[in-house]
Amino acid sequence: MNAFPSKLPHVGTTIFTVMSSLALEHNAINLSQGFPDFPMDPDLIGLVSKAMSAGANQYTHMNGYIPLRGQIASKIERLYGASVDPETNITVTPGGTYALYTALTCVLHPGDEVIVLEPAYDSYIPSIEVNGGIAVTVPLQFPSYSIDWERVRAAVTTKTRMLILNTPHNPTGSVWKASDFLELQDMVRGTRILILSDEVYEHITFDGYQHQSILRYPELRERAFACSSFGKSYHCTGWKIGYCVAPAWLTKEFRKVHQFNCFSTNTPAQVALATYLDNYEAYESLPGFFQAKRDYFLELMRDSPFAFLDSKGSYFILASYKHFSQEDDKEFSVRLTKDHGVAVIPVSVFYRDGKDDKVIRFCFAKAEKTLEEAALRLRKLR
For ligand PLP, which stretch binds (CB under 6 A), given 40-48, 173-181, 236-244, 283-291?
A: 236-244
Q: How far is CA 150 from CA 141, 144, 184, 217, in A?
A: 12, 16, 11, 21
Nearer to ligand PLP (CB atom), residue 121 or residue 283? 121
Nearer to ligand PLP (CB atom), residue 36 or residue 287? 36
3-state DSSP helix/strand/coil percent for the chain, to nearest 5? 40, 15, 40
> Are the CB atoms for 156 and 113 separated by under 8 Å?
no
Least Å from the CB of residue 243 to ligand PLP:
10
Least Å from the CB of residue 4 to ligand PLP:
28
> Are the CB atoms for 228 and 199 separated by under 8 Å?
yes
Q: Binders of ligand PLP: how many residues, by CB under 6 A?
A: 14
Nearer to ligand PLP (CB atom), residue 242 or residue 313? 242
Least Å from the CB of residue 339 to ligand PLP:
27
Nearer to ligand PLP (CB atom), residue 240 or residue 293? 240
Q: Is 21 left (phi over 0), alpha (psi -120 to 50) or beta?
A: alpha
End-to-end Cα separation, the chain, in angstroms: 53
Q: Is 232 left (phi over 0), alpha (psi -120 to 50) or beta?
A: alpha
Cα gap 166→198, rounded to integer Å = 5
Nearer to ligand PLP (CB atom), residue 35 or residue 217? 35
Nearer to ligand PLP (CB atom), residue 69 or residue 235? 235
Least Å from the CB of residue 198 to ligand PLP:
5
Q: Is 231 in the site for ligand PLP (CB under 6 A)?
A: yes
Selected binder of ligand PLP within 167, 212, 229, 291 (CB under 6 A) = 229
In sequence order, the β-bridge partners of residue 137 are 116
Q: Is 34 in the site for ligand PLP (CB under 6 A)?
A: yes
By CB atoms closer than 10 A (0-12, 13-18, 19+), residue 326 is: exposed
Least Å from the CB of residue 280 to ligand PLP:
21
Least Å from the CB of residue 158 to ligand PLP:
29
3-state secondary structure at position 198: strand
Least Å from the CB of residue 122 to ligand PLP:
9
Q: Is 242 in the site for ligand PLP (CB under 6 A)?
A: yes
User: Which amino acid does the sequence have at 104?
Assistant: L
Nearer to ligand PLP (CB atom), residue 231 or residue 287? 231
For ligand PLP, which stretch binds (CB under 6 A), given 81-89, 216-224, 235-243, 369-377?
A: 235-243
Selected binder of ligand PLP within 102, 170, 172, 265 (CB under 6 A) = 170
Pairing state of beta strands 242-245 and 90-93? antiparallel
Cα gap 165→185, rounded to integer Å = 13
Selected binder of ligand PLP within 237, 267, 291, 370 (CB under 6 A) = 237
80-119 residues near ligand PLP, rule: CB under 6 A: 95-97
Cα gap 95→105, rounded to integer Å = 16
Q: Could you tell me which of 262, 290, 266, 273 has the C-alpha nearest to residue 367?
A: 290
185-204 residues near ligand PLP, rule: CB under 6 A: 198, 200
CB within 8 A of 176, min separation 6: which ones? 147, 165, 167, 212
Least Å from the CB of residue 273 to ligand PLP:
13
Q: Is 208 left (phi over 0), alpha (psi -120 to 50) or beta?
A: left
Selected binder of ligand PLP within 166, 213, 291, 348 (CB under 6 A) = 166
Least Å from the CB of residue 367 to ligand PLP:
19
Q: Which residues bind ligand PLP (CB under 6 A)?
A: 34, 95-97, 121, 166, 170, 198, 200, 229, 231, 237, 240, 242
